[in-house]
Structure 1
Amino acid sequence: MNDRYSRQELFSGIGKKGQQAISQKHVLIVGAGALGSGNAEALVRAGVGKVTIIDRDYVEWSNLQRQQLFTEQDAAEKIPKAVAAKERLTKINSSVLVEAITGDAGVQELEGLHKDVDVIIDATDNFDTRMIINDISQKYRIPWVYGACVGSYGISYTIIPGVTPCLHCLLETVPLGGATCDTAGIISPAAGMVVSFQTAEVMKLLVGDLEHIRKKLVSFDLWENQHTSISPGTLKKEDCPSCGSRPSYPFLRYENQTKAAVLCGRDSVQIRPAMKGDRDLERTAQILSKTGGRIERNPFLLSYENSGKRLVLFKDGRVLIHGIKDIAEAKTIYHRYLG
């Protein structure tokens, strides 16, 4: 007798009926870092029918402190995160179908992945991708669970199309910068806490228990012993272009996406943020100064050099990444240091 899920079935919120439902569902995880690997392992152990993981990056030594699916060998061989995750996950539960996609989670990619997805998990490291996920969610009526962490801080929020405010209602615009794990560090318990919030919400969605979905946006700081939850229900906007009465899904349009291009005749990539706006070079310099790289400034731009790559940031938001021609790698570097 196979009692693999017996303890989960004994839990009144799931039961045998809920376990059967879980085994037939498909979860898309965008990102295979700390949040992505943690959610993937929990859901594969829980017996979800199919898990699709998309990530453009490879395993590095600095990942091993918190990204639980990966090994020293993965880092030494620079194995793509999605590939390494699939190899580990299939050893954990061979009955779960795991699909690994090594690539950028852009509009075209997510448009092609949404068709049979029941829930989307945000495990990315930037708001560009999150806003695309948000519009995909609203357009195709797929619930998703937002999550982020840096330092000892974490945040999570469950978004159900037609029911809750969407991320666009809450944020309205994409931030041009902010702290990242590479600039502010991170402790693994913070990532683990966000994973717990996200996975619990996903399991509620998979068994159809909408009554117990957390209605609040929750945030915490484990080091400072702080915990906050707010009810964002009143923030839902009738005229929101993503979830309002006349949605236009702005972040699925080309003009609202981050642009990246290899500069002709130069070993450089230019990245232009989707949203126009002045970048605070002084604040950015303060954030980057924590990474140990070399910083130079003049009234017009900021130059930052680290690990053989040089980033030149302009006040209008543009960034030149020198010493590279691969756009996917350039995006990884961009989001690693600039959020």
Structure 2
Amino acid sequence: MTERYSRQIRFLPIGEAGQKKIGKKHILLIGCGALGTANAESLVRAGVGQLTIVDRDYVEESNLQRQTLFTENDYHEQLPKAIAAKNRLQEINSTVNIQTYVMDATSENLPPLLTNVDLIIDATDNFDIRLTVNDLSHKFRIPWIMGSCVGSTGMSYTIIPGDSPCLQCILDITPFMGATCDSVGIISPAVQMVAAHQTAEALKILVEDRTALRTKLVTFDLWNNQYQMINISRAKKSSCPTCGNEPTYPTLAYQSQTKTEVLCGRNTVQIRARYKFEMDTLKKRLQQLGPVKTNPYLLSIEYKNYRIIFFRDGRALIHGTNSIEKAKSIFYQLVG
């Protein structure tokens, strides 16, 4: 064991045996924004064996306030977040096997990535994706750690399939606020607090010390000096469609999947087409409308009062509107 992890090894609940386990484990990180970058950096510094990052977005200027792995150059280059994060993470610890996927996380494309995954970390920004992760976690029997933050508040909860109440159970008894970073903003310390809870729980799972896991849902408000641990053990229901006696995993059904969505705090709509874009053909077509910027992962164009980003996997981000109808209209004007 190298000097790199010596201080972590001296922490008795981890020790040399725990460090060896960490170095053999595989984590799937879904989302690489504020929570994703904070978790990724901590886990890569801790020496996790393999980290798979899934993220659909690219680096924007407003990300730099709280998304700790990104630089101004990443923003100017419009790099996908997963790629920019990997570039920085490999500089931090070149021994970690890091795989990246620039794509939307869906019930279709996530299952192939779950082979040999020991833990899923939620760093997403909406409950549609979280409910899909919840179903996949239970179907494939993989623990996952929820996390979310907005303003100066945050929450985190660790879900162990077959043991903990799942997200579907929790939503039936616990009202989650509807505020978004668009309406109330967010401060960086709230991000770091949630990530600290998530990473600590992750280390417990990686070293197989499940007796130390927090069994309560934690919430906090840093600005108003509030911290609460909520016992939700009684929320688990035998009739739950995800973790009950006869699970149906409802969000994995095609009719339950979101094909368009308004992105948190972005004045942006994402549209996911049923096909992948032929980027060269699309570029030639769009150049008739105005200058097109490209990199190996996406192309973008300013059109009317909107900025549209096309990803190879068939997604488009229409910046400048929160209207799904308007976004679809712009999308079809450009791609037919």
1:186 has 2:191 as partner:
no
- 3-state SS of the aligned residue for 1:42? helix
Deviation digits for residues 200-241 of structure 1 (CA, Å, limit 9, x no counterpart): 000000011010000100000000111111111000000000
Quote how far apart the aligned CAs of 1:310 are.
5.5
Letter of the 2:84 partner, please give it. A
- 3-state SS of the aligned residue for 2:248? coil
Aligned to 1:254: 254
Quote how far apart the aligned CAs of 1:66 are.
0.5
The 5-angstrom pairing of residues 167-316 of structure 1 reads: 167-172=167-172, 178-260=178-260, 309=319, 311=321
Letter of the 1:37 partner, please give it. T
Aligned to 1:40: 40
> CA separation in 1, counterparts of 2:62 and 2:255?
35
Deviation digits for residues 81-112 of structure 1 (CA, Å, limit 9, x no counterpart): 00000000000000000111100001111111
Q: Contact 1:156–1:219 at 8 Å: present in 2 too?
A: yes
Q: Contact 2:138–2:242 at 8 Å: present in 1 too?
A: yes
The size of the alignment, in residue pairs, is 284
The 5-angstrom pairing of residues 141-152 of structure 1 reads: 141-152=141-152
- 3-state SS of the aligned residue for 2:99? strand
Task: Classify 1:6/1:257 alpha carbon distance in 2 versus 1 (closer, same or farther; 3 Å).
Answer: same
Quote how far apart the aligned CAs of 1:183 are.
2.2
- 3-state SS of the aligned residue for 1:5? helix
> CA separation in 2, counterparts of 1:269 and 1:226?
34
Deviation digits for residues 290-311 of structure 1 (CA, Å, limit 9, x no counterpart): xxxxxxxxxxxxxxx9889554
Normalization by structure 1: what TM-score? 0.78
Task: Classify 1:71/1:269 alpha carbon distance in 2 versus 1 (closer, same or farther; 3 Å).
Answer: closer
Structure 2: stretches of 5+ with no match in the other structure = 262-267, 273-304, 308-317
Letter of the 1:9 partner, please give it. I
Structure 1: stretches of 5+ with no match in the other structure = 262-267, 273-304, 315-319, 328-339
Normalization by structure 2: what TM-score? 0.79
Q: Contact 2:152–2:187 at 8 Å: present in 1 too?
A: yes
1:154 has 2:154 as partner:
yes
Q: Identity over the aligned pairs, expressed in percent? A: 55
Letter of the 2:155 partner, please give it. I
Q: Contact 1:310–1:321 at 8 Å: present in 2 too?
A: no
CA RMSD of aligned residues (A): 2.7
Task: Classify 1:46/1:306 alpha carbon distance in 2 versus 1 (closer, same or farther; 3 Å).
Answer: same
- 3-state SS of the aligned residue for 1:113? helix
> CA separation in 1, counterparts of 2:25 and 2:8?
16
